[in-house]
Amino acid sequence: MNIDFTESEKNFRLEVRDFFQNELPEQVKLAIDNGLRLSKEEQILYQQALATKGWAGTNWPVEHGGTGWSATQKYIFYNESAKAKAPRIVPFGLSMVAPVIYSFGNKEQQERFLPDILSSKVWWCQGYSEPNAGSDLAGIKTKAVRDGEDYIVNGVKTWTTLGHYADWIFCLVRTQDTGKKQEGISFLLIDMHTPGVTVKPIITLDGRREVNEVFFEDVRVPAHNLIGEEGKGWTYAKVLLTHERTNIAGVASSKQRLSSIYEMLETPPDGMADLRKNNVFMARVLATEVELKALEYTELRVLSSVSTGKAPGPESSILKIKGTEVQQALDELYVEMAGIYALPFLPQQYDDATVEPIGPFFAANTAPHYYNNRKVTIYGGTNEIQKNIIAKHVLGL
């Protein structure tokens, strides 16, 4: 895609590029340069560097500390960030709960929570899915019963990403049993240090603790932590999910990964076969590129809509479906490029810059990326559910 930037936008691109080259904390830059996962502390340092620059609230309204960027500026920022291989922002605070708070929370809640979210002083996690309520999110069973000035919460949430780091969790809870599942659900903010909250790990295929189960046993939550009206949580949750699905698409990151594939095809690293004459492989590369270019146009339309103050619409479901399919297609291409060197997954290669990788330099990350990204078509609402949304809200079926 060719976009003609104005002089102002070209200057902005240079400013963003300079930031990623020269203004990141040293230990964050070291981790990025060595292709390592960022620790919690390094991730916070990165996000606080963005906040200091005034760039943390990409989609936030200006009155709450947001950037006020145009769709083109957001496009430039996301693409320069991906080219610099910078980490993606942990979305739960800045990109997910914050829009709900500044859209539906009262002034006291906005003043209490938004500054700490913007400055990454507080780590948030998401309490939506339950053991028997994932894609059927309206089937949640976690209950919150009003008791004077508090709610008493009992239940369990699962697949809680990075919940073991979190200070707060935003939860969908059932405050009323009605005939319709989507009714009687409320949006509640819960301090993770409250007595009765227990976090238990779920170990993933790569041997790491990324997701958790969170148990609530007679947890007392102040009623003033309720966002908006009681029983209206489903409405607020849908707004949050459209932001989440837009972020999951990861268009800029996929563009960077595709660009790296072309670079390695042109100059194959030691240990990698020359695949340029493999017509089947090259056809898959080109097909992925076509899908990605088409997806980029949809993302630009969404960014333009958000820039006017609107929440993403059902097109966020299109982004989620195609974005995650492209991510998985790229994972498969990387595994094929790595060949036999994709087989040995040594976690220390991903965490320690002193460990010598086996095979081509990129091969160490192919297995964890492949296995971890099996989930992207599931979380944030399965792709099958997104097709139902498109059928109803776009096609009118």
Has residue 28 got a pLDDT over 80?
yes
Using a 10 angstrom Cβ sphere, with 0-12 exposed, 13-18 middle and 19 or more buried, the burial of residue 38 is: middle
Q: Which residues are within 8 A (CB) of 217 and not within 5 positions of it... i.e. 6 or more apart?
A: 154, 196, 198
Check: CB of residue 319 under 8 Å from CB of residue 253: no
Check: CB of residue 316 under 8 Å from CB of residue 378: no
Q: Please name the residue ranges forming H helices in 65-196.
A: 71-83, 91, 98-104, 107-118
Per-residue pLDDT averaged across 11-33, rounded? 93
Has residue 397 got a pLDDT over 70?
no
Q: pLDDT at position 368, please? A: 80
The lowest-confidence range among 45-49, 157-161, 203-207, 344-348 is: 344-348
Q: pLDDT at position 124, please? A: 97
Per-residue pLDDT averaged across 356-383, rounded? 81
CA distance 238 to 248: 15
Strand partners, 126: 170
244, 296, 299, 315: which one is catalytic? 244
- Tell me: the pLDDT tens digits for 72-89? 898 899 999 999 999 989
Check: CB of residue 196 under 8 Å from CB of residue 154: no
**Residue-range domain boundaries for the chain:** 7-89, 123-231, 249-393
The lowest-confidence range among 20-29, 113-122, 151-160 is: 20-29
Check: CB of residue 111 under 8 Å from CB of residue 130: no
| Residue whose C-alpha is closest to residue 113's, from 215, 224, 232 | 224
Q: pLDDT at position 13, please? A: 96
Q: Which CATH code fits 123-231?
A: 2.40.110.10
Mean model confidence pLDDT for the chain: 89
Q: pLDDT at position 355, please? A: 62
- Amino acid identity for residue 272 in this structure: M
Between the alpha carbon of residue 58 and those of residues 29, 48, 205, the distances in Å are 21, 13, 33
**390: helix, strand or coil:** helix
**85: helix, strand or coil:** coil
- Tell me: the pLDDT tens digits for 302-353? 776 666 666 667 778 888 899 999 999 999 999 999 988 887 666 665 666 6
- Amino acid identity for residue 65 in this structure: G
CA distance 177 to 334: 48
- Tell me: the pLDDT tens digits for 198-227? 999 998 877 778 999 999 999 999 999 999
- Tell me: the pLDDT tens digits for 97-142? 999 999 999 999 999 999 999 999 999 999 999 998 877 888 899 9
**25: helix, strand or coil:** coil
Q: pLDDT at position 395, please? A: 75
Has residue 297 got a pLDDT over 60?
yes
What does the DSSP assignment read for 278-315? -HHHHHHHHHHHHHHHHHHHHHHHHHHHHHTTPPP-TH
Query: Which band of pLDDT confidence, cut at 50, 70 and 90, is reported for residue 1?
Result: very low
Query: Is the CATH number 1.20.140.10 carried by domain 249-393?
Result: yes
384 is catalytic: no
Q: pLDDT at position 346, please? A: 63
Q: pLDDT at position 354, please? A: 63
For residue 96 the two structure tokens come to 């997910």
Q: pLDDT at position 253, please? A: 92
Strand partners, 150: 147, 222
CA distance 275 to 273: 6
Q: pLDDT at position 202, please? A: 94
Using a 10 angstrom Cβ sphere, with 0-12 exposed, 13-18 middle and 19 or more buried, the burial of residue 241 is: buried
**Per-range mean pLDDT, top range of 263-277, 296-310, 356-370, 373-387:** 263-277
